């Protein structure tokens, strides 16, 4: 059984090309190597957080506290590095441990006490923001002393050498082809629907073209940013978890029908708590990158990032009711959001207009999700 080509398969790509085309016309520097390199760093931060959000949306939950968590975790690490002279690598450990503990606690409250995730994480948003301001004492805390580079600052300022960039992309392409063909063969052998060979080839060809164009472009500036490599590692981890483990299948099952999943023997409570705990780890990684990107921990770090993460998921085809969503879709959704924000920044669009555009995009994405669910 073959899955036929449909416009929806390439709708995100077409939307992205339209956005890039518009900004390229009104602001020629938009497609410069320097700006595209900056765009990839912004994408890496947004997409990493969105991939964590995917884990809790799949079983039908939500998290409004991740933006405040990003600020809090980055602030903890910055204070340890700058005020207490901890090595950056060592400072990361307690920051990550705090994130895992906090999100484990939130997940436990949601499933054990049967409190809606919206309420618990809304409370977390306020609590984490307040604790964050206490941690940094509402001051600006740099991520390094005297601007000297350390592991913290290098998260968003280090770039792979050109030869390493080409080697990495080659490895990614080979792995992608092997995984795609093996997965297609396995699905066909089990009687599931698969894409037409032409559609499979087209997807791989366009992916290869996009990756090659990406590395050629960023190598004109400094190379592939380390933050993009981190995003790749997180994306691979989430892809393996959601598509190749019982835990991932349970996430989809719970989102599709929680009662049926429970009757079928799925440990619903453990799975949801595990999803929130994993999200906590990803919030920590995002917090470290976002703080490093700004060069310091300030009271505004992480503001509204939960909205961008949710928007990236929904734009990428993730259902807010749960049960549907993919890693690739989330990355495309994050790329669309990052492209819009980057373009508006280049055009010096007023902050209030940025909020309006982000709200409109999120509203349209949710509307499309509702409309598609009725078909």
Mean per-residue pLDDT over the chain, rounded: 89
Q: Are residues 215 and 231 in the same domain?
A: no
Residue 123 shares a structural domain with residue 178: no
> pLDDT value at position 217?
86
Pairing of strands 141-142, 296-297: antiparallel
Same-domain status, 229 and 219: no
CB-CB contact of 297 with 143 (8 Å): yes
pLDDT tier for residue 1 given thresholds of 50, 70 and 90: very low
pTM of the model as a whole: 0.91
pLDDT band at residue 222 under the 50/70/90 scheme = confident
d(CA 230, CA 241): 17
219 and 229, same domain (yes or no): no
Q: Tell me: do 117 and 217 sit in the same domain.
A: no
Average pLDDT (71-80) is: 97
> Which among 199, 327, 177 has a CA at the least distance from the CA of 252?
327
pLDDT in tens, 55-74: 999 999 999 999 999 999 99
Of the listed ranges 43-52, 98-107, 216-225, 265-274, the one predicted with least confidence? 216-225
The tens digit of pLDDT for each residue in 185-197 reads: 877 777 767 777 8
Confidence category of residue 2, pLDDT binned at 50, 70, 90: very low
127-184 per-position pLDDT tens digit: 999 999 999 999 999 998 877 889 999 999 999 998 898 898 888 888 888 888 887 7
Quick check: 252 pLDDT over 60? yes
C-alpha–C-alpha distance, residues 59 and 72, integer Å: 26
Per the document, the length of the chain is 375
Q: Mean pLDDT throughout 94-115?
A: 96
Is 237 in the same domain as 188? no
Q: Please compute the mean of the pLDDT values over residues 112-132 and round it to a whole number.
A: 95
Would you state the pLDDT for residue 8?
52
Interacting residues of 114 by C-beta distance below 8 A, sequence separation 6+: none
Instruction: Quote the pLDDT of residue 357.
Output: 86
What CATH number does residue 294 fall under? 1.10.3470
Domain count within the chain? 2
Given this model, what pLDDT does residue 331 score? 93
Which domain, by its residues, includes 195? 165-223
Contact 43, 335 (CB under 8 A): yes
What local confidence, expressed as pLDDT, does residue 124 receive? Answer: 96
Query: pLDDT digit string (tens) for 254-268?
Result: 999 999 999 999 999
Written as one string, the DSSP assignment of 178-225 is HHHHHHHHHHHHTT--EE-HHHHHHHHHHHHHHHHHHHHHHHTTT-SB
* One domain, residues 128 and 253: yes
The secondary structure of 274-341 as a DSSP string is HHHHHHHHHHHHHHHHHHHHHTEE-TTTTTTHHHHHHHHHHHTT--TTSS---HHHHHHHHHHHHHHH
Q: Is pLDDT of 241 > 70?
A: yes
Tens-digit pLDDT profile for residues 39-57 = 999 999 999 999 999 999 9
Tell me, what's the pLDDT at 227?
95
Q: Name the percent of the chain lying above pLDDT 90.
A: 60
On whether both 22 and 112 belong to a single domain, the answer is yes
Q: Is the pLDDT of residue 211 over 90?
A: no
Is 190 found in the same domain as 56?
A: no
Q: What is the pLDDT of residue 12?
A: 77
- 231 with 218, same domain: the answer is no
- 64 and 178 assigned to the same domain: no
Nearest to 49 by CA among 35, 68, 36: 68
pLDDT tens-digit map of 347-360: 888 988 888 988 88
On whether both 195 and 47 belong to a single domain, the answer is: no
Segment 283-298 mean pLDDT = 96
- Give me 368's structure tokens: 């499309």
pLDDT value for 9? 52
For the cut 60, the answer to whether the pLDDT of residue 6 exceeds it is no
3-state secondary structure of 374: coil
pLDDT tier for residue 5 given thresholds of 50, 70 and 90: very low
């Amino acid at each position: 059984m073959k899955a036929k080509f449909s416009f929806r398969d390439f709708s995100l790509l077409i939307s992205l090309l339209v956005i890039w085309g518009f900004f390229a016309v009104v602001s020629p520097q938009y497609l410069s190597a320097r700006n595209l390199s900056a765009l990839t760093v912004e994408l890496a931060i947004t997409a990493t957080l969105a991939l964590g959000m995917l884990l809790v949306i799949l079983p039908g939950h939500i998290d409004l506290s991740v933006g405040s968590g990003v600020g809090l975790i980055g602030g903890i690490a910055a204070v340890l590095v700058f005020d207490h002279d901890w090595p950056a690598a060592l400072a990361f450990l307690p920051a990550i441990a705090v994130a895992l503990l906090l999100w484990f606690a939130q997940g436990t409250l949601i499933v054990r006490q049967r409190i809606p995730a919206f309420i618990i994480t809304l409370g977390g948003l306020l609590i984490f923001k307040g604790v964050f301001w206490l941690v940094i004492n509402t001051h600006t805390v740099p991520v390094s002393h005297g601007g000297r580079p350390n592991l913290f600052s290098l998260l968003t300022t280090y770039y792979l050498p050109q030869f390493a960039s080409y080697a990495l992309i080659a490895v990614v392409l080979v792995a992608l082809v092997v995984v795609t063909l093996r997965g297609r063969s396995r699905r066909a052998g089990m009687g599931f629907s698969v894409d037409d060979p032409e559609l499979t080839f087209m997807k791989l060809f366009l992916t290869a073209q996009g990756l090659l164009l990406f590395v050629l472009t960023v190598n004109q500036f400094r190379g592939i940013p380390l933050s993009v490599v981190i995003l790749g590692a997180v994306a691979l981890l989430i892809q393996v978890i959601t598509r190749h483990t019982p835990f991932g299948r349970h996430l989809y099952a719970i989102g599709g029908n929680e009662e049926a999943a429970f009757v079928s023997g799925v440990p619903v409570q453990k799975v949801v708590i595990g999803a929130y705990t994993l999200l906590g780890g990803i919030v920590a990684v995002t917090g470290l990158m976002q703080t490093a990107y700004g060069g310091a921990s300030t009271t505004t770090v992480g503001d509204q990032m939960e909205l961008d993460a949710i928007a990236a998921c929904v734009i990428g085809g993730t259902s807010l009711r749960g049960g549907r969503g993919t890693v690739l879709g989330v990355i495309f959704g994050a790329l669309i959001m990052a492209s819009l924000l980057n373009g508006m920044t280049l055009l010096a669009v007023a902050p209030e207009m940025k909020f309006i555009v982000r709200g409109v995009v999120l509203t349209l994405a949710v509307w499309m999700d509702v409309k598609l669910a009725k078909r």
